[in-house]
Chains A and B, each alone.
Chain A
Amino acid sequence: MSKVLILAEHNGSQINQSTAKVLTAAKQLNADAIDVVLFAGDAALASQVASLNGVNAVKFVQCADNHDQLAASIAPTVAELGKDYTHVWGPSTTFGKDVMPRVAALLGVNQVSDVMEVIDATTFKRPIYAGNAIITVKTDTAQIVATVRTASFAAEKAMDGSAAINESNLENAASHTTYVSLSSGNSDRPDLQTASKVISGGRGVGSEENFKIVYDLADKIGAATGASRAAVDAGYVPNDMQVGQTGKIIAPDLYMCFGISGAIQHLTGIKDAGTIVAINKDADAPIFEVADVGLVGDLFKIIPEMMEKL
Chain B
Amino acid sequence: MKILVAIKRVVDYNVRVQVKPDGSGVATDGVKMSINPFDEIAIEEALRIKEQGKADEVVVVTIGSNDSQQQLRTAMAMGADRAILVESAGPVQPLQAAQVLLKVIEDEQPGLVITGKQAIDDDNNQTPQMLATLWNRPQATFASKVEFVGDNQLQVTREVDAGLETIQVELPAVVSTDLRLNEPRFVKLPDIMKAKKKPLDVKTMGDVLPDAQGVAIEVIQHESPQPRQKGVMVESVDELIEILKDKGLVS
Contact = CB atoms under 8 A, between A and B. Distances in A.
Interface of A: 11, 69-72, 75, 93-95, 97-102, 104-106, 108-114, 123, 127-139, 141, 174, 176-186, 193, 197, 221, 229, 233, 238-240, 246, 248, 253-254, 264, 271, 274-277, 288-296, 302, 305-306, 309-310
Interface stretch (B69-77, B106-114, B128-136, B185-193): B128-136
Across chains A and B, which 4 residue pairs bring their CB atoms closest together, nearest first? A184-B163, A101-B129, A292-B231, A105-B133
Interface stretch (B54-62, B200-208, B218-226): B218-226
B244 A277 contact: yes
A75 B213 CA distance: 20
Contacts of A179: 165, 167
Interface stretch (B1-9, B44-52, B79-87, B235-243): B235-243
A240 B163 contact: yes
Contacts of B96: 110
Given A71-B139, A102-B130, A123-B220, 14 more contacts: A93-B161, A128-B123, A135-B221, A136-B219, A139-B215, A177-B139, A178-B168, A183-B164, A197-B249, A239-B180, A254-B249, A271-B225, A292-B228, A293-B231
Contacts of B218: 137-139
Interface of B is mostly: mixed
A72 B137 CA distance: 8
Contacts of B138: 72, 174, 176-177
A295 B233 CA distance: 6
A302 B237 contact: yes
B125 A131 contact: no
Contact of B179 (A104, A135, A246, A302): A246
A288 B230 CA distance: 9
B105 interface: no
B120 A130 contact: yes
Given A113-B123, A277-B240, A293-B243, A108 B214 contact: yes
A102 B130 CA distance: 5
Interface in B133-174: 133-134, 137-139, 141-142, 144, 155, 158-170, 173
A34 to B, nearest CB: 22
Contacts of A233: 180
B232 A294 contact: yes
A132 B13 CA distance: 12
A186 B163 CA distance: 8
A203 B141 CA distance: 28
Nearest to A179: B167
A93 B163 CA distance: 12
Interface string B94-126: 111010000000000000000000001111111
A276 B233 CA distance: 12
Given A174-B138, A177-B167, A102 B121 contact: no
B89 interface: no
B126 A113 contact: yes
B126 to A, nearest CB: 4
B129 to A, nearest CB: 4
Interface of B: 11, 16-17, 19, 26, 93-96, 98, 120-130, 132-134, 137-139, 141-142, 144, 155, 158-170, 173, 178-180, 213-225, 228-241, 243-244, 247, 249-250
Contacts of A290: 228, 231
A246 B178 contact: yes
Contacts of B214: 108-110, 141
B129 A102 contact: yes
Nearest to B127: A101
B169 A177 contact: yes
Residue among B170, B232, B250 facing the most chain A CB atoms (10 A cut-off): B250
Nearest to A283: B233
A104 B95 contact: yes
Contacts of B170: 176-177
15 contacts: A72-B138, A94-B160, A94-B161, A97-B142, A113-B125, A113-B126, A114-B123, A129-B26, A137-B220, A138-B217, A177-B169, A179-B167, A180-B166, A239-B144, A302-B237
Residue among A93, A99, A176 facing the most chain B CB atoms (10 A cut-off): A176
Residue among A127, A193, A221, A239 facing the most chain B CB atoms (10 A cut-off): A239
Nearest to B20: A133
A102 B138 CA distance: 11
A174 B17 CA distance: 41
Contacts of B234: 293-295
Contacts of A183: 163-164, 166
